[in-house]
Amino acid sequence: MKKTFFKISFLLAVFAFNTKIIAQAIPGTLNWYNGEGAGMQTDKAYGLLKKKTSQPIIVAVIDSGVDIEHEDLQGKIWVNTKEIPKNGIDDDQNGYIDDVHGWNFLGNAKGENLDAARLEKTRILAKLMQKYDGIDPATIASDEEFTLYETVKYEVEDELANFDQYMPMLESGQFDKETIKYILDQVKFNLNVDYDDRSLIGDNVDDFNDKNYGNGDVEGPDALHGTHVSGIICAVRGNGKGGDGVADNVKIMSLRAVPNGDEQDKDIALAIRYAVDNGAQVINMSFGKSYSPHQMEVFEAFEYADSKGVLCVHAAGNDAKDVDFEPNYPTSMYSFQAEPLAHFITIGASTKDKSELVATFSNFGQERVDIFAPGFEIYNTVPQSEYKNLQGTSMAAPMVTGVAALLKSYFPSLTMAEITDVMFSTSVKYDDLKPLCTTGGVVNVYNAVKACMALEKSKK
C-alpha cells in the first residue's frame, strides 16, 4: 500500500509517464540541456561541425502523436513522397492508405481516434477474471496464470482505493485541471475493467497479422507528449523560440501508438516494423509499462530493426525503480533473450545540478539502463505552437535520439553500432551513476563529435 500511495502522490505532484503530463515543471534556463555544466555541450559541438555538411536523417517517434504544424517543427516533418495525400489509395502499396507523415495505430478508417486506454494490468485482469473470479484459491494448484490474476487484481484494486481519497477534493479547487483529468481518466478508463478500449479500432489485438486498421492522422486528440519529444530531437535551432532541438537535419516520422494509458504490444511491434520499412534510422520510444503479454512478438520486431541497423532508444521509466529486477517493457533483455541487441538502448534522466545529478523519479539499472541524459525541466514544443517545461525519462530518451541522429547526419559512413559505442565511451562519467547504468555517464555531444571525427579519419 505504501509503495502505491507514494507512486500516486509522486505522479500527482510531478509527471505521469504513460498518461502524459499532470503538472508543469518550475521554469528554468530554457536551453540548459544543450549547454555546459550538466548539459550535453551540444552548442559547443556545432562549433566543430561548421565545415562539415549533413544529410537528413529520418527519426521515427512512436508516441501520442505530433503536431506537425508546430511553428518550431516546420521543415522537420517526414513526408512519404510516394503517397498522394487524401486520395484514399495506398499509392506506394505498403499496406497503409494515405500515410503521408507516418501512421496512427490508434484510429479507424472513419478517422475516429482513441484517446484513453486501460493499463495493461487492467486488461489482464479483465481477461482473467472471467476464468478465476469467485474461485477459492485453495482449490487451485500452483498455477502461474492464477498468480498473475491475483497480482493484477490486488494492484488494480489498490490503486482504485487510493484514488478514491482524492474524489472529494476534485471540486474543492485543490487541483488544477490537468491533475483532475488525470485522476478521472485513471478511474474511468485506465483502471476500469469494463472499459473496452479497442472497440473503436475494431482489430484483434492478439493477432499480429491483422494489420488493416488505423488511419493517417498522426496528431490525434492529444499530441502534447509526442510533440514535446519531437521538439527535443529537432526543434529549429537558434530561432529564439522555445528550446533548441539537438539535431539540425532531421525528419520526424510520427507513429501514433501511445494512448492515455498503456500502449498495446501489437501497435508497438507494427510501428517498429513500419519505421524500419519506411527509412527511419533511429526510433524514439518514450513509453513503457509493467506488463507485456506479447513479449516475443515485440522482441522479434526489435530483432528486425537490429538486423537493419536501426537504433531503438527507450526511456527507462519514472518509477524510481531498478529495472534489472522490475522490468519496464519493452526491455533490452527479455527472459528468453540469449544476448543483448546491438541497436537497443535504455536511457535514464539526469538533472541540471551536478550535486544531485540523478532525477529522483528516474528508473535505473546497472545492466539494463545504458546511459543518462537531461530529463529535468526541459522546455520545448507542445501543440498549437506553444511551449512547456516538462520532465521525465520521456525527455531524456529523445536527447539521446537527437545525438544519434546528429552524429549519423554528419558522419554517414559510421554505422549506428559505432555511433552507439561512441556515445557510450565519450559520456561524462560520474561516481553517482556508476551503479545506476552500464556506462556510468551522461551523454556528451561535444565529446562524441570529436570521437566521430577521429573514427571517420581512421577509416580513410
Q: Where are the domains of the chain?
A: 27-115+203-459, 120-190
What is the C-alpha separation between 82 and 181, in angstroms, rounded?
40
What is the C-alpha separation between 305 and 6, in angstroms, rounded?
37
Mean pLDDT computed over 418-440: 98
What is the C-alpha separation between 287 and 2, in angstroms, rounded?
25
Mean pLDDT computed over 90-100: 96
Task: Report the alpha-carbon angle 121-303-362, nearest 5.
Answer: 50
Cell numbers of 292, please? 507485456
Cell numbers of 110, please? 472513419
Q: Lowest-confidence range among 10-24, 50-64, 263-277? A: 10-24
Determine whether 279 is exposed, middle or buried from the number of CB atoms within 10 Å of its CB (0-12, 13-18, 19+).
Answer: middle
Q: Lowest-confidence range among 78-92, 175-189, 220-234, 439-453? A: 175-189
Mean pLDDT computed over 65-86: 97
User: Cis ω on the peptide bond leading into residue 330 (within 30° of 0)?
Assistant: yes
Look at residue 19 and tell me whether its pLDDT is greater than 90. no
Look at residue 73 and tell me whether its pLDDT is greater than 70. yes
**pLDDT value at residue 162:** 86
**pLDDT value at residue 138:** 84
What is the C-alpha separation between 339 and 181, in angstroms, rounded?
42
CATH architecture of 27-115+203-459: 3-Layer(aba) Sandwich (3.40)
Look at residue 10 and tell me whether its pLDDT is greater than 50. no
Look at residue 16 and tell me whether its pLDDT is greater than 50. no
**pLDDT value at residue 165:** 82
What pLDDT band is residue 142 in, cutting at 50, 70 and 90?
confident
Look at residue 38 and tell me whether its pLDDT is greater than 60. yes
Tens digit of each residue's pLDDT (9 = 90 or more) over 375-409: 999 999 999 999 999 999 999 999 999 999 999 99
Contact assessment for residue 375 and residue 205, using Cβ atoms and an 8 Å cutoff = no
Considering the chain, what percentage of its residues have pLDDT values greater than 70?
A: 94
**pLDDT value at residue 175:** 82
* Cα separation values, 213 from 25, 52, 169, 219, 266, Å: 37, 43, 40, 16, 12
